[in-house]
Each structure stands twice: as C-alpha cells, then as structure tokens.
Amino acid sequence: MQNINEIEDLIKIISKLPGLGPKSAKRIVLKLINNRNELVKPMANTLAQVYKNVTRCNSCGSLKSNSTGCMNCENMREKFNKICVVEDIADQWSIENSNIFKGYFHILGGTISSAGQRKEDLLINSLVERVKKDKIEEVILATSATVEGQTTAYYIKDSLKNLNIKITKLAQGLPVGGEIESLDDGTLISAFKNRSKLNSSSD
C-alpha cells in the first residue's frame, strides 16, 4: 500500500480500537475506501454528530444526547428502588442485554488505581447523592472480580455505610479476574440471582 498520510493516520486510529491490530485496521480502511459513498461519507457525518452531541452524564456516568438528555437518570418514565453500579458503559450494555436487571444504572468510569485513576476521579459522590434523591433501597455492586474492582466495591460500601440501604455484590460465580462485559448471559443471570449482601444491620 502506498504511504498516503491520510490513510496511514486512519489505520493508526482504527488499530487502537479494542480487538483490532494493524492488519485488521488495514482491511477496514480498504473496505471504507472502496465504499466511499456508502460508508465513508455517512460514517464521517455520524461521527461528527456523535462528537458534537453525545457526552457522559455528570450524574450517572451513562451516555446522553444533548437533544434528549440522559435516558438513564433524567427521563426515566418508571421509578425504581435499585441501582446497579458498574465500571463502564460496556458493562451496562451487557447487563441490559441479559434482561436480568430492572432498575437504574450508575457508571463509575473506571476503578480505583486502574490507569492511575483515584477514587476522586470516579462518580462515587454522585452515587451517594442519587441514592438519597431517588430513595434507593438496594445498591448492587457489579464491579469486576479483579483486585481493582473489589477495592472499588468496598470503597463504595464504605461511602454508603451511613445510609439505611441494602448493599449487595454479584455472586462468586463471577470468575476471578473476570470482567462484566465479557460474561455470557447465563453467568450474569446466575451472578445477579445469587448476589450476596455486603452490609448488615450492625454496619
């Protein structure tokens, strides 16, 4: 392939996407170039609109559109008494696809100490405020079974200890080191159904 700067730059960007390397990125770029009108133009327009209009909600961490607001915490027609806390949006989508949970989501945006993130960088304070405002009765901690995920879960538990709510975590069927987004629906359903209580009346 000729060293055309624009193409080389596009290959570098696409190769940064999860599961893609330079070879896969080259194939994708060739597909795009060979379908300029069908793929490149509409994709460019859509990406421009996403960049302009889609952001993270400062309250719950989910994605929101500037035109419709946050569908997770602002425009919910139904009222729930549960919040499921996850690390990132991919985890939210995985749980939604399993249809095992009916309630609000709270997306932290990472874990404590991962990629240099501190607890202050996560949306933990806003979680506490949402629990109070929405009269939440149960907080389900669906963080990954990694050291960082479990550390984050116990910090959240400590942050909520003065509130009269039930705090649970996903069952130990979750494999050690496992990430939520990589689990199949059966494992997720089992983990939710058999979740265990973290706090007690003596906390």
Residue 191's pLDDT is what? 67
Distance in angstroms (rounded) separating the CA atoms of residues 119 and 127: 12
Residue 201's pLDDT is what? 46
For β-strands 63-65 and 82-86, DSSP reports them as unpaired
Q: Is 127 helix (H, G, I), strand (E, B) or coil?
A: helix
Encoded tokens for 194: 């058999």
Within its chain, how far is the Cα of 136 from the centroid?
20
Place of tokens 């919910």: 76
Residue 122's pLDDT is what? 87
Residue 75's pLDDT is what? 58
The structural domains of the chain, ordered by start, are: 5-54 (1.10.8.420), 82-197 (3.40.1360.10)
CB 103 within 8 A of CB 81: yes
Give pLDDT < 50 ranges for the chain: 201-203
Q: Is 1 helix (H, G, I), strand (E, B) or coil?
A: coil
Amino acid at 77: R
Closest-CA residue to 119 (of 128, 110, 127) = 110
Closest-CA residue to 124 (of 135, 109, 114) = 109
Cβ neighbours for 170, distance < 8 A, ≥ 6 positions apart: 140, 141, 142, 191, 192, 195
* pTM for the model: 0.76
